Amino acid sequence: MASILPASKRAMIPDKNAYNGKRFVNVKNPYLDTMDEDVLYHLDLGTKTHNLPAMFGDVKFVCVGGSPNRMKAFALFMHKELGLAGSGEDIKDICAGTDRYCMFKTGPVLSISHGMGIPSISIMLHELIKLLHHARCCDVTIIRMGTSGGIGIAPGSIVITDTAVDSFFKPQFEQVILDNIVTRSTELDKELAEELFNCSKEIPNFPTLIGHTMCTYDFYEGQGRLDGALCSFSREKKLDYLKRAYKAGVRNIEMESTVFAAMCGLCGLKAAVVCVTLLDRLHSDQINLSHDVLVEYQQRPQLLISNFIKKQLGLHDQMT
Amino acid sequence: MASILPASKRAMIPDKNAYNGKRFVNVKNPYLDTMDEDVLYHLDLGTKTHNLPAMFGDVKFVCVGGSPNRMKAFALFMHKELGLAGSGEDIKDICAGTDRYCMFKTGPVLSISHGMGIPSISIMLHELIKLLHHARCCDVTIIRMGTSGGIGIAPGSIVITDTAVDSFFKPQFEQVILDNIVTRSTELDKELAEELFNCSKEIPNFPTLIGHTMCTYDFYEGQGRLDGALCSFSREKKLDYLKRAYKAGVRNIEMESTVFAAMCGLCGLKAAVVCVTLLDRLHSDQINLSHDVLVEYQQRPQLLISNFIKKQLGLHDQMT
């Protein structure tokens, strides 16, 4: 599966050596190159069963998100936006042999689902980063697009994360390695965040801001929800917590950004997190949007990221 | 969707009052009953949009597992094993409106996928427990069936968990609530584990044991794998860690059991964890089984749990 960008478009893509220098993906594992075969188990791919450089060598943008349906929708959208041949409707799930994750490729854009929560995205990222390494990809930008709960901002707003913070508002991710805890940085690429923010200004009626994103291990008790099967705190304690988060610079809450920032940072991937907020947690716990509004909100990160990618590829004339 | 067990089978199910006493599901949230509507967002169900008692009131067994395909396969298998009408091939995903989880119902057996990792299963459990509460279910047994890495036991072995332990071999789950850490017990129902173990003895060539299950937040660094994108420890350190786990009574490693044990315990659900091991982590990190062997191993927990359920329902004559 070589580049499927038509020749007319391919000319518009800057040469990979010229485009932002030649930055390879760093796996930080001395054992990897000694392995005879690397099976990327949860992606149903492997170095002996697949020609990874041929399949993925031209990837420049990796977009990840929790929901398989949404990542397929994004791939179809990118297919159209990049002006690729065919309707794209027959786009194949590259990981069809497993139901853990879905993966779609449209030209230089890879679209992958990661499920919900830190452990689920972490498995995918380990195998994705090895995939990009085996495929000898360079100058890769990776963007997580997601849904989130906002704090003190209108539902439908886009938050571009500058720094991911944990439940204690600390800009760090605690990784358990064997039985040791190692603390990793969760800073994201500031320049990339600014570029995305600038892109957002060109879209009418598109409320966007840059802020901290809080990443929790739990959707209910961990995010101060009063509507879980378990709830041991008062409404006042909940609001006090969310207001303290706001004061610390947190504008939205989701469940994957800290490990995403930490792993991409360590492996030399330029990374961003772009989430839409579905509710303001200062006002409610449950999402009460109509189906149509929910669908439109969920498309917002896709629209912004698609515009950014087209700009990077020199397809300015085709901005949505 | 009332009971779909044919009348001839229904008579074999002990009366719910007689069967093990009348044990309701305990939600521990004083706010829940004050809510006008409860939207189980990630299951695409709700108290106003669905008649939950009619749909789920007869549920006695809930089986959960990571993979949607496997949970569908289990539902089809149970359909056949319970002798329900029709081929079952047209079985519907009750959560078809969302791609977060899948849910299937065959008679008194609910089969649900939970994705990978503690946060993913935790969201599902909050909403499942509320569902069982809203549906006024009683005397519910819940069993997680999964795949795992074994320690010092042959691949293909079944481990029935007595106690789930964390990465530090402690029988506890640390739940972050707002910005406090609360420690919860991870003991499982000893009697249920024994009953499952006794069932296993009736199946020929079915290596089964009761032991501790270690639950980690990470598949690679957290489980001492040398084949991730990141690896900062030596082979010796890895083996030392796994051997210490073995000494502490750990026989397998997976990624959901601590929060499963903690939440089910708090909410009064009789709970068990039944996992097959796909490799011996003292010998390797990657799963190198042939497709057929992998499929057969993955069916083992299903076979054991199906036999257990049939026994409970008085369908002894139909043991597989």
Encoded amino acid at A49, one letter: T
Question: Can you tell me the distance from the alpha carbon of B208 to that of B123, in angstroms, rounded to the nearest whole number?
Answer: 30
CB atoms within 10 A of CB A99: 19
CATH of span A147-313: 3.40.50.1580
Q: Does B221 touch chain A (CB under 8 A)?
A: yes
Phi, psi of A88 (to 5 degrees): 85, -10
ipTM value for the complex: 0.92
The nearest CA of chain A is from the CA of B110 a distance in Å of 19
The phi, psi pair for B71, rounded to 5°, reads -75, -30
**Which residues in chain B touch residue A101, judged by CB atoms under 8 angstroms apart?**
none
Cα-based distances in Å from B214 to B15, B159, B220: 37, 11, 14
Task: State the fold for domain B36-139.
Answer: Rossmann fold (3.40.50)
- Rounded distance between C-alpha atoms, residue B320 and residue B306, angstroms: 8
Distance CA A50, CA A37 (A): 11
Residue B28: other Cβ atoms inside 10 A? 15
The full set of domain ranges for chain B reads 36-139, 147-313
The annotation status of B136 as a binding-site residue, yes or no, is no
Give yes or no for residue A3 having a pLDDT over 60. Answer: no
A-facing residues of B in 148-167 (CB < 8 A) are 167
Alpha carbon distance, N-terminus to C-terminus of chain B: 28
Query: Nearest C-alpha of chain B: how many angstroms from A220?
Result: 7
Helix, strand, coil percentages in chain A from 3-state DSSP, rounded to 5: 35, 25, 40
- B146 annotated as a binding-site residue: yes
Residue A90: predicted pLDDT: 87
Cα–Cα–Cα angle for B11, B13, B17, rounded to 5 degrees: 110
Chain A neighbors of B285, CB-CB under 8 A: none
DSSP β-ladder status, B141-150 and B158-165: unpaired
B290-319 residues touching A, CB cutoff 8 A: none
| Tens of pLDDT, residue by residue, chain B (320 residues) | 334 444 444 434 444 333 445 899 999 999 999 999 999 999 999 999 999 999 999 999 999 999 999 999 999 999 999 999 988 888 999 999 999 999 999 999 999 999 999 999 999 999 999 999 999 999 999 999 999 999 999 999 999 999 999 999 999 999 999 999 999 999 999 999 999 999 999 999 999 999 999 999 999 999 999 999 999 999 999 999 999 999 999 999 999 999 999 999 999 999 999 999 999 999 999 998 999 999 999 999 999 999 999 999 999 655 55
Rounded to whole angstroms, how far apart are CA atoms A214 and A252? Answer: 6
Which of A130, A178, A218 faces B119 most closely, judged by CB atoms?
A: A218
* Binding-site positions of A for substrate: 223, 225
* Chain A positions in Cβ-Cβ contact with residue B179 (cut-off 8 Å): 167-169, 241
Question: Is the pTM above the cut of 0.95?
Answer: no
